[in-house]
Amino acid sequence: MSRTTRAKPPLSGRAQKRVVILGLPPVDSLDVTGPAEVFAFANKLHRSDDKPYILELVGVGADLRLESCTGIALMAHKTLQQERDESAAIDTLIVVSGWEAQDQLDEAAIDWIRTRSENIRRVCSICVGAFALAKAGLLNGRRATTHWRMTRSLAERYPLVQVDPNPIWVKDGNVYTSAGVSAGIDLALALVSEDLGDGFAMEVAKNLVLFLRRPGGQAQFSVALQSQHVSGSTLDELCVWINEHLTSELTVEILADRLSTSVRTLIRLFQRELQTTPAKYVENVRLEAACRSIELGVRSMEEVARRSGYQSVDVLRKAFIRRLGVSPKEYVHRFSPISD
């Protein structure tokens, strides 16, 4: 059991926000319960009697039973038909589904999402839920993501969607999409941060015993893990060596010499096996190392730059802004570990 701590109430006197999680079965249960726990803890930590959120789970079946991929059924608050009949205002809609549901999305639910979204402040999806938003036309012309294993399928089925396979969640206008499982929790924390402030969202994360809140721009899996994904890659040992020598000079000539090959061959190997260039790979590893240093509590930007192989704090800052859209100091403020 986690120890519940209290945060100052930043929303006293404001109207409650109704959050509806729409489950398209069979759902991945954590895609439902993870975000739900975030909003529930936000209510629990709020000192005022007027809790910030009204949270409801809506299923599309004839009854309240909502099937999950694990075989453990969830119980919805309402059916979609009941939601239609009542037509209460929705502040945030979160559409969730499971891997087995992408080819059998409920047409009536898709029509309801398409129509109802016009009067909803934020429309979100978790994992396969992005397919429902895409089918409803809400992602046309928008940048979006889903679980990395599903991004190619999403892009092929819905060519008008600008699918980005890398980030854990994406915001484009008032539409939010995320990868699956734990990424849904990160997205929910970001929504709470928008509503109640970053400090309050950090307090929620602390009570959920999360190591840190991950920004949307963070990759779904690490650069090192990506390099290991290619079975029998000739670059395996070189990639490990790069990670262990970030403070060294890592020019393409040095890397080619390390692999005992020509520069041209090295570039071809990186392109074929990792779909990138040696220079971009090194930059990605260094940026990831810098983020990790910050997340582990390093506060000196000079030290962060030194550990990750950047020549100066200015070079580090430019890399952060170019790749993540925030400066290192902003990253510290928004995504640092939660202190007692």
Helices (H), 7-53: 29-45
CB 101 within 8 A of CB 124: no
Mean pLDDT within 187-196: 93
CB 14 within 8 A of CB 49: no
Mean pLDDT within 130-157: 94
DSSP-derived secondary structure for 177-240:
EE-STHHHHHHHHHHHHHHH-HHHHHHHHHHTT-S-PPPTTSBSS-HHHHHHTSTT-TTHHHHH
pLDDT at 1: 36
pLDDT at 166: 77
pLDDT at 209: 77
Band (5; pLDDT cuts 50, 70, 90): very low
Burial group, residue 151, by CB count within 10 angstroms (0-12, 13-18, 19+): buried
Q: 197-237 pLDDT, tens per residue?
A: 888 888 898 888 775 555 555 555 455 545 544 445 678 88
Q: 249-291 pLDDT, tens per residue?
A: 999 999 999 999 999 999 999 998 888 899 989 998 898 888 8
Domains defined along the chain, listed by start: 17-207 (3.40.50.880), 223-335 (1.10.10.60)
Closest CA to 114 of 140, 91, 150, 76: 140
Which of residues 108 and 235 earns the better pLDDT score?
108
